[in-house]
Amino acid sequence: MDSPFFLPQNDDFLPTVGITGLFSYRYAYARSADSRTYNDPAQDYLGFQVCETSFLFVLCDGVSQSFFGDLAARMLGNALIQWLSSLPPTQDKAQIQDDLEQHLRRLSLEANEAVKNYALPASIPPLLREVLEEKRDKGSESTFIGGRIDLPSKNLPRGRFLTAWMGDSRLRIWRQNQEISQQLGGEFLTTQRWSSKHGIINGKPYVYFSPLFNEDNTPIISRWQIYSDGFSSLDNIQVVLSNNHIQELMIQSAHTPQSDDISYLEIWLGKTPENVLASSNPVSLESPTVFLNTSPADIETAKTVLGTFIPQPPAKNPDDVEEKKS
């Protein structure tokens, strides 16, 4: 299986739109004011993997009070996307939850050794080194949200959306223009997280599972938002914003006293809403794309169910073709 795309933690990304198969999406990333000032990596780790019939995503937010929270976020994010990509087409929520908890426990054993062996820069002052060694003994920690969207296939005739989380990053879902995030259940608590030393802390991960389509082929969920707590200015906004508006909110958040890292991902079934690019600065539509193993039969099944939701490529202009020939 090809590797997923993770946004580098030492850089910033303006809102960028991508279209792959039957999914369209948008992502953005910004380090906190302190991280930019001192050229430090962000604590957030955002990644996704997309093909014509599946979209996987993960957002991990490292705990800054722990030993290099960005390290925990990377270890956890990489492990979660691998776990999501290996999931069988099951619809058994209890099985998924049990498998995830076991996966996180095994990861803590590996991560604890990585933290023990993590080399501190030689240039660190003695006092700071002493503080970091105390933090090392307590481990590296991160919150997380991970999810997988599967379009209808032979094994999943109504498709599937499953997600799991610990912590206070945001996950919101819509059915057409109506937000239905309350159906997720569970809580998004700051105190819950994963630790390299202790595994899961303050409760078990929350897990949500749902078919993606009703029996009449209408979508149960058609839009997703995933973002870190540093982008809390989005919390009360339900409408789809343009790229310019997303960028403006990110700039505003960066200038607040509580400026924090921002990770943001939005996903749609089918076409990107028209206003996303309205009155916007040019953005790349050639976003990084990686592929899951998908059979042609599954792709055709998904296209049949989606019907009008299938995004169509722009029609070629015959005149343009003639001009190129000449």
Strands, E assignment, the chain: 5-6, 13-20, 23-30, 44-50, 54-62, 141-150, 160-166, 170-175, 178-179, 193-195, 199-201, 206-210, 223-227, 262-269
Domain hosting residue 92, numbered range = 5-325
Give the count of domains, the chain. 1
- DSSP line for 32-70: -HHHHHTTPPPSEEEEEEE-SSEEEEEEEEE-TTSTTHH
Report residue 257's pLDDT band, with 50, 70 and 90 as the boundaries: confident
8 Å CB contact between 141 and 63: yes
Tell me the pLDDT tens digit for each residue of 94-122.
999 999 999 999 999 999 999 999 999 89
**Euclidean distance between CA atoms 30 and 298, whole angstroms:** 37
Q: Give the contacts of 93 (CB within 8 A, at least 6 positions apart).
A: 162, 207, 209
Mean pLDDT of 15-39: 93
Indicate which CATH number applies to the domain containing 10. Answer: 3.60.40.10
- % of the chain at pLDDT higher than 70: 84
Indicate the residue type of 221: I
Give the three-state DSSP class for 174.
strand
Mean pLDDT of 198-211: 96
**Euclidean distance between CA atoms 128 and 115, whole angstroms:** 17
